[in-house]
Amino acid sequence: MSAKVLLARIIYWFAGLKEDPHELFSRIGVEKDDEILEMGCAIGFHTFPLADLAEDGKVYAVDISEEFIDYMERKSKNEGYENIVPLCEDAEEIGLENEDLDKIVCFDTLHELEDPGNGLRDMLDHLRSNGLFLYRDPEISVEKILEYSERNLVYVEEIKRTHVFKKK
């Protein structure tokens, strides 16, 4: 296991003491057959709970880091998750063909993109109308997200530090 993955495992072990992603995504209303894109999945702290809830759907787990995606591939296979699709891609050039996703999850990742506005609009092209954009990033405000989306998003509510937007 690489030092990067080991560090991420330690960080998420501590994160697990403070947050229960199953509870978060249940409250937000992730459904059994949801098709979800998680941008910046890292080692799957949020991905696996999403996949547990969307058991008949699909979770596209995207990250630019090959190490993280290798880890995600191994762990998904070892634990028998057939509904997780790990993809090593840049958020600003998403190769995904699905343009009808039910939800997009983007936690603490947008600020790492070269052009966050461009990355956000690219992601939103893959979200269906009325689909939810679930967002966290202390470095980029809700108002900025609305601006970047070119007013294609409507703010719904905040649930456990997660901003919920709906696509028009």
Ligand X SMILES: C[S@@+](CC[C@H](N)C(=O)[O-])C[C@H]1O[C@@H](n2cnc3c(N)ncnc32)[C@H](O)[C@@H]1O
Residues of the shown chain interacting with ligand X in the complex, contacts defined by CB under 6 A? 40, 42, 45, 62-65, 68, 90-92, 107-109, 112-113
Quote the least distance from Cβ 97 to ligand X, whole Å: 18
Q: 């689909």: which residue's tokens?
A: 131
The answer to whether 62 and 91 have CB atoms below 8 angstroms apart is: yes
Quote the least distance from Cβ 39 to ligand X, whole Å: 6
Nearer to ligand X, 40 or 57 (CB): 40
Nearer to ligand X, 53 or 62 (CB): 62
Rounded CA-CA distance 42/26 in Å is 21
Nearer to ligand X, 47 or 149 (CB): 47
Lookup: tokens for 19: 């947050």
Quote the least distance from Cβ 38 to ligand X, whole Å: 7
Nearer to ligand X, 42 or 145 (CB): 42
Quote the least distance from Cβ 8 to ligand X, whole Å: 8
The closest residue (CB) to ligand X is: 40
DSSP string, 30-89: --TT-EEEEES-TT-TTHHHHHHHTTTSEEEEEES-HHHHHHHHHHHHHTT-SSEEEEE-
Rounded CA-CA distance 21/48 in Å is 9
